[in-house]
Structure 1
Amino acid sequence: MSTKNNGQANALIQEVYKVIKTNIQQAKFSEAILLCQKQLAADLPDNDRIEVLYLLVVAQRLQGEHHGALESNKMLLELNAEHARAWQENGYLYSAMGEHLKAAQAFYQATQLNPALLSSWRAIQPLYDKQGNSKAAAIAKGQVEYLAALPSAVLGATDLMYEGDLHTADRICRQFLQTKKHHAEAMLLLAEIGIQLKVYGEAEFILSSCIELYPQNKVAGMAYLKLLAKMAKFAEAKTLADKLLVASPSNAILLCAKASAMVGLGEVKGAISIYQDLLQQNQDQPGIQLLLGHALKAQGDLSAAIAAYQRAYHFNNELGDAYWSLANTKTYHFSDAELAAMEALVSKPKVSLENRIHLHFALGKSLEDRKSFDAAFAHYAKGNQLKQQQIKYNPDAFEGQVAKQIETCRPELFARLQAVGEQSADPIFIVGLPRAGSTLLEQILASHSKVDGTMELHDILGLASKLQGQKNQYPAILSDLDKGYFARFGQKYLQDTHVYRAGAPFFIDKMPNNFLHIGLIKLILPNAKVIDARRDSMACCFSGFKQLFGDGQEFSYGLEDIGRYYRAYEKLMSHWDSVLPGFVLKVQHEALIDDLHGQVQRILDFCGLPFEQQCIDFHKTERAIKTPSSEQVRQPIYRTGMDQWKNFESHLSALKDVLSKGA
């Protein structure tokens, strides 16, 4: 369908929504129901179907058709299990039918998905009172008082944020802050909206300002800690955690935040001690067991990590992340009992969406290990489908970013700004797609006596985000910046990453997504080295599709999306080779496996490093590794993963079709 036809269809459905809503407001419920049913008989996109179903549920409830409304809502929640207002409708329906326990459960689910639903909090409080659950009733009462006291604009913007309308929420919040410049809740809300929009630099400024203005505001402190961790600013996060711990030295959340920052800084033993101290007081803390497992895995103590993950699901048998963390070791094999437990859990409606996503990916890996490939793919596909409900990835937007890089980063730009950046040759960037072999390349280079391995550093991404700003200025702004900025940016990068180094002359920055910013890297660090970790397209894309990432990589949860991303990546890498010849070394994963010695020599020559045998014996190098490939690179080279995608070939036609079209 053309863009014009799409626009006409959208305008038409919006007009229909307006009529249905007017009918509901005028108590013409039968007319509203008939109009909804007429729309649902048509071939609607999922988003429109969800909206019409919601209006149908409301009309049916107000008409007194409780059972019909529940059936309509069931269809809605099958399309979007995280629709907070649909859960709220279930709460109203069960209350009207006298099923108070089910009503309380539905209202609770609504408040978990959208904590700004004041109506649900008000409805759930008396239900908790009836159950004699005084603790839950007190929490609900406190939330009602907190939300009711918020200015209407802030409450409305908060609601919009949780409903996913980030740009409207952002606009309303900014308008409010023009009149109430230092309103704490509004500042915190604007920062949270910024985080969800991935404008991390602005969110960081708002939160740091909020803490300056309100040093006793614990919510601001915790929000800032979370953001620093998300931005991988672990040194700052550890410092802030220590500062906040002065007032609350035994606060488990702050201690865990400090320990997580320490893992990020490579201080893994100290972090493990903190987790173990907390668990010594009480083992029944599944979240901390999970964090302990991650730290032990990063340290290389896999058996202890597995035991921690098992304790995590022992104390919370619905904790999908514990099962996925076991699967994500890539070496763990689930027992029949564990497999049966996961299969039972994933079909329970009360299990949260987040837990079900983790369980589906874990089941996919477990069944793949058992060579039940069709059943495994069904779980991978369902996990990816559910994950897509949580994210709003737009492949057109990413392809637009690539087009802007190609348009801006022309030979004349680099000729005009030649050698204006910081001249240090210390950084070695490893870029590419996730699951393309970048961790193996990092382990090989980090085994060299003159190279420090670090982690996936976020500094280049952070700089790009700051240059982007609110007005989408990046990368076009590179043409307009004063020449002096580039050296300062390079110096700042070296200064901020120094904390991750251990004294070697060179260090690795293994952030795969930096391939989008190679032009920026060349301008601020012209003598850096860049290595492109490349892998067969089908193997790489399907490996990404099977992987549940901790954060980011939103493109990986759809076969067409990941195929389009791979093609855009290939197109951009070809552009960099054209405008920056010799700046990037492509290392093909399959060639590395076939000729380890020859490829290692080639990599070391590119980096200006003498040959060292320990680069061949990389699996013997002991260092903390936090990526999904951590256990694989602690083994010698193996070929078993090269053709795994062929076991699923009958399910991958959508991916093949996209990849066959070329860049």
Structure 2
Amino acid sequence: MTTRQDHLKQAQTTLQAGQYAAALELAQAVLDGAPDDGEALYLAAVAARYCKDTDKAQDYLAALHSAMPEYGRAWQEQGHLAIARSDAQGALSAFTRAVRYNPALTASWRELARLQGAAGNHAEAGTATAQHQRLAALPQELIAVTNHLAEGRLARAEEICRHFLRRNPARDKHHVEAMRLLAKIGIEFGVLDDAEFLLESAVSFAPDDVQLRLDYIDALRRRQKSAEALAQAELLIERDPENPLFQSRLAIECIQMGDYERGLALFGTVLKKLPNDPASLTSRGHALKTKGDRAEAEASYRAAIAAKPDHGDAWYALANLKTYRFSGAEIDQMQHLAARSEIPFMDRVHVNFALAKALEDEGDYEASFRHYDQGNAMKRAQTRYSADAMTRELARQEQFCTPELFEKHAGQGHAAPDPIFILGLPRAGSTLLEQILASHSQIDGTLELPNILALAHRLRGRKAGHPRYPQILHDLTGEQLAKFGEQFIQDTSIHRAGAPFFIDKMPNNFRHIGLIHLILPHAKIIDARRAPMDCCFSGFKQLFAEGQEFTYGLTEIGRYYADYVQLMEHWDRVLPGKVLRVAHEDVLDDLEGQTRRMLDFLGLPFEQQCLDFHTTPRAVRTASSEQVRQPINRKGQDAWKPFEPWLDELKAALGEAG
């Protein structure tokens, strides 16, 4: 056991024994060598409070909030400290934040019930009491699972949860809760098919459990099963047609299915009941943006900010329009918000990215880069992404996807010619290529479909550190490959509008070209390539919703680009002619020539509408939605150059690929 572990264990034991000064001394010994050690800061804060040194306790907590802004126990301790200082309002705020980050904190729910009751907020007090009673009735193992899940210890949470499920019979109410928790763990791990199955089973055992059904809808949406998610949302509405939460959830699912009229009408109904609800206003804005109603989307985002000035999602949504210019007053407001460490973590992340975009538009590149860097650093601290691990993963594709593999399976797979895969890196111009091709009468544009990634994940197996994929491709039969291809066509049909061909624009599919070729040998593949500095820095500036963790650091994104180029060279060697490479810069230089080149590759006749892509009335869900509704332009070209003084790290990571 290390000295740190010894000190922390002794500090905890000493604290439990009531020897508060000694516990504080032991925790401080750890902090002398590691000032940001979260566990030591927490123990020191508790010990200092019991020593009645509330100022020192607050200093420890301030450092802990800075290092771990979403650590629920730290906010619970902040609540206890506020009570010690006779600050009821501060305690109420802290305990509220504690249960937002960790819903298993029984002491926080108990104190919230007491404080809300004392303030005369009887409905809120009743809710807190119900949550406290629910936790009190749960087995300790499931409370532990919830704690570990909230604090990011996923492997330990899964271990306890699976052990509990083995020991308890199905259909027991606690068994159902364990299934729900295991599904949430699965979602965190990205094992979405298992999460869906667990929740589907749990809902069949407990059909009246609203939280289960909400979680099930979330899992279905993540798997792009829009029709199934919509059906589940409809069941909630049948249960309580006037419930604004259910109406909002149904609105989201309608919009996912392309029914903007009904979705926006439902948001309108919700906002009549809750006119200043920032989440509904922001979601409504997202729908309007996707639909192409730019002015109305902008107004909805601004209304969300007026209702809740620190609602970071709405600030970033305005910036993510790409063409919105912030006023001086709005920039001042965001600068004030970015400096406030007490606002929720993701709100600060969103504000940093939005402020960076605003300052870039103003020409203040040094300050702009500082906020891009800060926002990315905050996100990077949350992830488990490893550039070394990604390099190894992509190298395995080169190791096992050999000419011999493709010769062995020649003539196998599913014969459908329908799919067109546009892949590469995000922010490489793939949305523009999709918009050009989806303007053709014989091609449907769809979404960034997760099906290939999900199949690769399933083939990888469950044994941590020992993935079976892609080596397992050598062991698959022709029948299995054809079945996988057929399943892809069936599962993606919900997103099509009847054209003979359709586009899957998931960028990360470049990692799995070998798998795509084996299951769909007649599919067409287009590699959207953009100049490395433009592509990488554009990715660094973009706050992605999920799935692109390599963008949160200059070194990480530079290495990813270099690895991508190397893997694409491998695919060119082992599958010559399979991939058409389209450089973004070539499209800017010769739109018609590159459009004809793509259509020739696809075996389709030229149509003028492809050149008039910006007039095509279709929903676009990516960050480039506003840009592809404009004629071709060079606004994004060389956008990295004003930031060059701060990009040495990126250049070094790109190496020869740059």
**TM-score normalised to the size of structure 1?**
0.94
User: What is the alpha-carbon distance in structure 2 between the residues aligned to residue 166 and residue 181 of structure 1?
Assistant: 23
Q: Deviations over 1:346-370 (max 9, x none)?
A: 3234421121111111111111111
Q: Secondary structure at the match of 1:452?
A: strand
Kindly tell me: are residues 461 and 130 of structure 1, through their superposed partners in 2, closer, same or farther at Cα, counting changes over 3 Å?
same
Residue 206 of structure 1: how far off its partner (Å): 0.2
User: What is the alpha-carbon distance in structure 2 between the residues aligned to residue 342 and residue 656 of structure 1?
Assistant: 30
Q: Deviations over 1:415-465 (max 9, x none)?
A: 111221101111000011111100000011111121111111122122222
Partner residue, 1:338:
330
Q: Secondary structure at the match of 1:533?
A: strand
User: What is the alpha-carbon distance in structure 2 between the residues aligned to residue 537 and residue 115 of structure 1?
Assistant: 43
Structure 1, 653-662 or 641-650: larger mean CA deviation: 653-662
User: What is the alpha-carbon distance in structure 1 between the residues aligned to residue 95 and residue 255 of structure 2?
Assistant: 38
Kindly tell me: are residues 132 and 251 of structure 1, through their superposed partners in 2, closer, same or farther at Cα, counting changes over 3 Å?
closer
Q: Secondary structure at the match of 1:41?
A: helix
Pick one of 477, 483, 491 that aligns with 2:486. Answer: 491
Equivalent AA in structure 2 for residue 153 of structure 1:
E
Partner residue, 1:98:
86
Find out whether 1:19 has 2:1 as its counterpart.
no
Q: Secondary structure at the match of 1:429?
A: strand
Q: Deviations over 1:105-126 (max 9, x none)?
A: 2222111110111122223322
Kindly tell me: are residues 277 and 143 of structure 1, through their superposed partners in 2, closer, same or farther at Cα, counting changes over 3 Å?
closer
Partner residue, 1:525:
520
Find out whether 1:73 has 2:73 as its counterpart.
no
Residues 8, 26 of structure 2: 8 Å contact kept: no
Equivalent AA in structure 2 for residue 124 of structure 1:
L
Pick one of 253, 263, 266 that aligns with 1:274. Answer: 266
Equivalent AA in structure 2 for residue 440 of structure 1:
L
Pick one of 129, 134, 153 that aligns with 2:122. Answer: 134
Find out whether 1:502 has 2:497 as its counterpart.
yes
Find out whether 1:602 has 2:590 as its counterpart.
no
Residue 136 of structure 1: how far off its partner (Å): 2.2
Residues 272, 292 of structure 1: 8 Å contact kept: yes
Partner residue, 2:428:
436
Q: Secondary structure at the match of 1:644?
A: coil
Pick one of 366, 380, 386 that aligns with 1:388. Answer: 380
Equivalent AA in structure 2 for residue 301 of structure 1:
D
Partner residue, 1:4:
none
Equivalent AA in structure 1 for residue 641 of structure 2:
K
Q: Once superposed, what is the RMSD of the aligned Cα atoms?
A: 1.9
Kindly tell me: are residues 634 and 171 of structure 1, through their superposed partners in 2, closer, same or farther at Cα, counting changes over 3 Å?
same
Structure 1, 330-339 or 426-435: larger mean CA deviation: 330-339
Q: Secondary structure at the match of 2:332?
A: helix
Partner residue, 2:164:
176
Find out whether 1:632 has 2:623 as its counterpart.
no
User: What is the alpha-carbon distance in structure 2 between the residues aligned to residue 587 and residue 389 of structure 1?
Assistant: 35
Pick one of 438, 441, 451 that aligns with 2:443. Answer: 451
Structure 1: stretches of 5+ with no match in the other structure: 1-9
Residue 282 of structure 1: how far off its partner (Å): 4.5
Residue 203 of structure 1: how far off its partner (Å): 0.4
Pick one of 286, 297, 305 that aligns with 2:297. Answer: 305
Residues 533, 588 of structure 1: 8 Å contact kept: yes
Q: Deviations over 1:247-302 (max 9, x none)?
A: 22233333333332232233333322322333345432322221221111111111
User: What is the alpha-carbon distance in structure 2 between the residues aligned to residue 32 and residue 582 of structure 1?
Assistant: 68
Residues 8, 30 of structure 2: 8 Å contact kept: no
User: What is the alpha-carbon distance in structure 2 between the residues aligned to residue 280 and residue 109 of structure 1?
Assistant: 28
Q: Deviations over 1:549-589 (max 9, x none)?
A: 12221221111221222222222222211221111111111
Residue 27 of structure 1: how far off its partner (Å): 4.0
Structure 1, 389-398 or 404-413: larger mean CA deviation: 389-398
Pick one of 149, 158, 162 that aligns with 2:146. Answer: 158
Q: Secondary structure at the match of 2:564?
A: helix
User: What is the alpha-carbon distance in structure 1 between the residues aligned to residue 135 and residue 85 of structure 2?
Assistant: 28
Equivalent AA in structure 2 for residue 338 of structure 1:
E
Q: Secondary structure at the match of 1:246?
A: helix
Q: Secondary structure at the match of 1:455?
A: coil
Find out whether 1:516 has 2:511 as its counterpart.
yes
**What is the correspondence of 1:29-44 to structure 2 with a 5 Å cutoff?**
29-42=20-33, 44=34
Find out whether 1:420 has 2:412 as its counterpart.
yes
Find out whether 1:254 has 2:246 as its counterpart.
yes
User: What is the alpha-carbon distance in structure 2 between the residues aligned to residue 539 and residue 549 of structure 1?
Assistant: 17
Pick one of 110, 115, 121 that aligns with 2:109. Answer: 121
Q: Deviations over 1:477-530 (max 9, x none)?
A: 322233211111111111111122122111111111111111111111001011
Kindly tell me: are residues 589 and 276 of structure 1, through their superposed partners in 2, closer, same or farther at Cα, counting changes over 3 Å?
same
Pick one of 403, 406, 409 that aligns with 2:395. Answer: 403
User: What is the alpha-carbon distance in structure 2 between the residues aligned to residue 645 and residue 363 of structure 1?
Assistant: 17
Partner residue, 1:575:
570
Q: Secondary structure at the match of 2:239?
A: coil
User: What is the alpha-carbon distance in structure 2 between the residues aligned to residue 662 and residue 307 of structure 1?
Assistant: 42
Find out whether 1:206 has 2:195 as its counterpart.
no
User: What is the alpha-carbon distance in structure 2 between the residues aligned to residue 280 and residue 468 of structure 1?
Assistant: 48
Partner residue, 1:147:
135
Kindly tell me: are residues 466 and 255 of structure 1, through their superposed partners in 2, closer, same or farther at Cα, counting changes over 3 Å?
farther
Pick one of 283, 304, 307 that aligns with 1:315. Answer: 307
Partner residue, 1:355:
347
Kindly tell me: are residues 45 and 620 of structure 1, through their superposed partners in 2, closer, same or farther at Cα, counting changes over 3 Å?
farther
Pick one of 65, 68, 75 that aligns with 1:87. Answer: 75
Moved over 4 A (4+): none
Q: Secondary structure at the match of 2:196?
A: helix
Residues 561, 657 of structure 2: 8 Å contact kept: no
Residue 11 of structure 1: how far off its partner (Å): 4.3
Q: Secondary structure at the match of 2:445?
A: strand
Residues 259, 271 of structure 1: 8 Å contact kept: yes
Q: Secondary structure at the match of 1:270?
A: helix
Residues 17, 52 of structure 1: 8 Å contact kept: yes
Residues 425, 528 of structure 1: 8 Å contact kept: yes
Kindly tell me: are residues 282 and 106 of structure 1, through their superposed partners in 2, closer, same or farther at Cα, counting changes over 3 Å?
closer
User: What is the alpha-carbon distance in structure 2 between the residues aligned to residue 122 and residue 109 of structure 1?
Assistant: 14
Residue 52 of structure 1: how far off its partner (Å): 2.3
Structure 1, 29-38 or 348-357: larger mean CA deviation: 29-38
User: What is the alpha-carbon distance in structure 1 between the residues aligned to residue 270 and residue 46 of structure 2?
Assistant: 47
Q: Secondary structure at the match of 2:547?
A: coil
Residues 79, 94 of structure 2: 8 Å contact kept: yes
Find out whether 1:324 has 2:316 as its counterpart.
yes
Residues 199, 469 of structure 1: 8 Å contact kept: no
Residue 45 of structure 1: how far off its partner (Å): 8.7
Q: How many residues align?
A: 651
Equivalent AA in structure 2 for residue 316 of structure 1:
K
Q: Secondary structure at the match of 1:250?
A: coil
Q: Secondary structure at the match of 2:525?
A: strand
Q: Secondary structure at the match of 2:635?
A: coil
Structure 1, 588-597 or 18-27: larger mean CA deviation: 18-27
Residue 662 of structure 1: how far off its partner (Å): 5.1
Q: Secondary structure at the match of 2:622?
A: coil
User: What is the alpha-carbon distance in structure 2 between the residues aligned to residue 557 and residue 488 of structure 1?
Assistant: 37
Kindly tell me: are residues 270 and 108 of structure 1, through their superposed partners in 2, closer, same or farther at Cα, counting changes over 3 Å?
closer
Structure 1, 616-625 or 519-528: larger mean CA deviation: 616-625
Partner residue, 2:236:
244
Residue 76 of structure 1: how far off its partner (Å): 1.7
